[in-house]
Structures are given as C-alpha cells and as structure tokens.
Amino acid sequence: MNEDIAQLVRAGLDELTDGATVPSGLAARARRQHHRRNAAIGSAVTATAAAVAVIAVVAASLAAGSARGRTGRANLDAVIISRAERALDAGSGDVVQASSSSPFNGTTIRVTSWSDSAGSRTQLAVAGQPPQAAGYVLHRGSVTFVTVDYRSRTWQQMSLPDAKLASRAVPAAVAPIQIIFARELQSVTGRCAAAGQSRPSLITFSWAAYIRHMLGCGVLKVAGHGTVDGRAATKLIAVGLVQVPYSAVLWVDRSSYLPLRLAFVPLKGVAGVTQMQVDLRWLRPTRPNLAMAAILPAPSGFRQTRWGS
C-alpha cells in the first residue's frame, strides 16, 4: 500500500511541477532582497546599539525586541515587493493601460496611455472636445515621437537616432502627464540614483520600468490592505522621502501582485499641492491591445505637418 501512495505522490508532484520554469531575474531579485535585508538589519542594529549606549541594560532588551520587529517587518516588505517585481517581470509583454483625471478650468482632463515594449500612445481628452494623442515608437535604438491633433486632423513626427539622447530634445507636449509623474517619481527615487542605481528614461516613459525602479530601490514599505475598484489590494507607501511634500502610495493586487494604482498624496498641512493618481491595468498582448499602444500609423486621412509648426 505504501508503494501505491508513493506512486500517487510521484504522479501528483510530477503533475504539479510539470512545465515549471525558473522565472527570469530570480537571482537578481535575490541579490536585491539580500541587500535590502542587510540594510534593514543594519539600521535596526544601529538603533539597538544607540539605545544600548544611552539607556543601558533594560532599554537594550527593549531595543533588541524592536530590532527583531523591524527585521520581521523588513521580511514582510521584502516578500511583497519581491512578488510585485516578479509580477512585473511576468507581465513584461503586457500592454499597460494607465488612466488619470485632473480638474482643469472647470472641466476635467482625462489622460489615458497604453504602452508596451515597442512604444507608447497617450490620449488626452477634455470634455466636449476632440482628443489629442502623443507617443513614441522605439526601433533599434532610435526613437520617433509623434503627435496627433484630432481637431485639425494633422499629425507630426520627429525621429532621433539614439533614444538615450532624447532627454532634452523633446517638448513636454509629448505625454505631459507621464512627464509630471516621471518628475515626481524621480524625486521619490532620488536617493536610489544617488546610490548609483540608474533611472529609467524620462521621455520614453514606461510605468513598468518606473514602478520596478521604485520597488527595487527600497523606498516602499507595506502599509496595509484595502480595495481598489473592488479588488483586494495591498498598500505600499514610500517612506523616508525628503524634499517632496507628499507620500507616494502604490497599491498592488493581493492575488497577482500587479500594481493597480499609483498616487501622490499631499502631506497634511501642505498647501498648493493636489493629489495625483493613475489607475493601471495590465492587458494581454492581443492584437487590439497592441494596436492601442501604437501611435503609428497615423489615422487615415490625417495630414502630416512639420514638427513644431
């Protein structure tokens, strides 16, 4: 009988593990988590040592408990962040849809972008008016920026041979909401850049790349749970921010760990700063979804005009 159940175990585990492949980037994630853990333990030990020096034995035992708590907390953060990174890697072929709304002159501007690894298209719509679209196409290291004006039924394009050189050459009219978010995100992740971690491009903006950057640079901590549009979600908050008047909040799906919402929430008592929020959807790379992310070809019947005219 033992042999029978052993055979069942074999067959069951064969079935469970069939076709399993190691996720790409697992070793890199392990290294990042290793560094994050070291940093967390280092700060906890430093805090403990300081407490020992000041308050002696009784306080030291309390601080040691605190250090253990911080380490456990760091582990929870690390697991959630690691799973979110894995989800991003697994969804790297997806089309990312990002939607946000902002009040403007008594009306609302709705900005929606679709992006994939080949490019991005952003549509800007003001209530009651034809939309405008802007985006870029990446091809063999070069980048082509495109704007489409649905009012005048015209479109423009500009190509640069090297996408890396594009950072200062492109007007902010291209994907303005991304530019705003990108600047804030660059503030949030500023200390990662200071530590030598390279930042994703500001112009060829990718939500996945920026969120991965945020996750990787250790500014996010688990802050609780909630729902986003009816979906159970885990809340991550960027902590230790300096020089920015808000907190950055990232919600990730509790099942898939894919990011659902990114918001910049003004700190209490800070005036003149409004909340910015973008809702994210991860779409399968079907033909219609990929077409949403393609800014070219321009709509048929539209006339091409000179860039900047």
Interface positions with another protein (CB under 8 A): 1-2, 4-6, 8-17, 20-23, 26-31, 33-34, 37, 68-69, 71-73, 75-76, 79-80, 82-83, 86, 222, 225, 232, 234, 254-255
Q: How far is CA 66 from the centre of its chain?
A: 31
The tokens for 243 are 């020089």
Cβ proximity to another protein: between 67 and 163 the closer is 67
Cβ proximity to another protein: between 15 and 162 the closer is 15
Cβ proximity to another protein: between 199 and 231 the closer is 231
Cβ proximity to another protein: between 1 and 58 the closer is 1
Helix (H) or strand (E) holding 82: helix 26-90
**How many angstroms separate the CA atoms of 88 and 59, rounded?**
43
**How many angstroms separate the CA atoms of 258 and 263, rounded?**
15
Distance in Å, CB of 70 to another protein, minimum: 11
Cβ proximity to another protein: between 83 and 110 the closer is 83
Q: Other CB atoms closer than 10 Å to residue 130's CB: what's the count? A: 11
Is the CA virtual torsion 84, 89, 96, 103 positive or negative? positive
Distance in Å, CB of 102 to another protein, minimum: 32
**How many angstroms separate the CA atoms of 23 and 186, rounded?**
28
Determine contact, residues 85/215, Cβ cutoff 8 Å: yes
Distance in Å, CB of 7 to another protein, minimum: 8
Distance in Å, CB of 33 to another protein, minimum: 6
Distance in Å, CB of 29 to another protein, minimum: 6
